[in-house]
Amino acid sequence: MNTNRRKQVNPVHFSSLVRCLLVALFLGAGGLFFVYMKNQQFALAEEIRQIEKRIAGVRAQNETLLARVTELSSRRVLQQKIADGFIVMKPIQDNVIARLTPPAAAVADGILRTAFVERGRP
């Protein structure tokens, strides 16, 4: 029996080793990449949630301000401001009104009126 063990060493199959290492590396990298991607997804989702929250807040603030503007420019408030003297209304002179159809003058005196005002009322 041949006892020289030096001649019986198992050869290292580098190609297999490399293949195994590559597979392990690939699986490891895949796993790490999956975890990384998952983390990214969570981070992005959280970011989206925060942005959504901010947008909702800004939109609500905008609507609140719009409601306030609507109230302040409402007829009721404007009339009150006129009554209190904060706003003054000036009648538009007839010579600055552009009319699509020429107006008919009042028959008797030829003076154009839009309507008789408070003159003559008891």
Partner 1 sequence: MKWTERTRAGLACGAVALIFTVYSGRLVHLQVAKHSEYSRLAAEKHTMRMVIHARRGLIFDRNGELLASNLPVRTVVADGSHIKNPAAVARIAAPFLEMDERELLQKISSDRKYIVVRRAVAEEKAVALRKALEEANLQGVELEQDAVRIYPNGQMLGHVLGFLDHEGTGIQGIEMTMEKYLRGRDGYRFSEHDRTGREIMLYRGQEEQAEHGLNVRLTIDMSLQAILEEELDAAFRDLKPEMVVGILADPVTGEILAMANRPCFDPNRPGGGKPEQMKNRAITDMVEPGSTFKIVVASGALNEGTVKENTGIYCENGAFAYAGKILHDHHGYGTMNVHDILVKSSNIGSAKMALMMGDAKYYEYVRRFGFGEKTGIELPGEIPGLVHPPQRWDKLTITRMPMGQSVSVTPLQITMSMSVIANGGRLMTPQIVRAVEDTEGRVVWEKPPKVAREVIPQKTARFVSNALSGVVGEGGTAQLAKVAGFTVAGKTGTAEKMSPGGGYAQGKYIVSFVGYLPEEAPRFVCLVLIDDPKIASAVNYGGLVAAPVFSRIGERAARHLDLVPALRAEPVVALGTGAKREGSWTP
Residues making contact with partner 1 (CB under 8 A): 41-42, 45-46, 48-49, 56-57, 59-61, 63-64, 66-67, 70-71, 74-77, 79, 103-104, 106-109, 112-117, 119-122
In the complex, the smallest distance separating the C-beta of residue 4 from partner 1, rounded to whole angstroms, is 40
C-beta neighbour count of 100 within 10 angstroms? 4
- Comparing CB distances to partner 1, the nearer of 7 and 119 is 119
Q: Which is nearer to partner 1, 19 or 54 (CB)?
A: 54
Residue 11 vs 102, nearer CB to partner 1: 102
* Contact between residue 106 and residue 112 where contact means Cβ atoms under 8 Å apart: yes
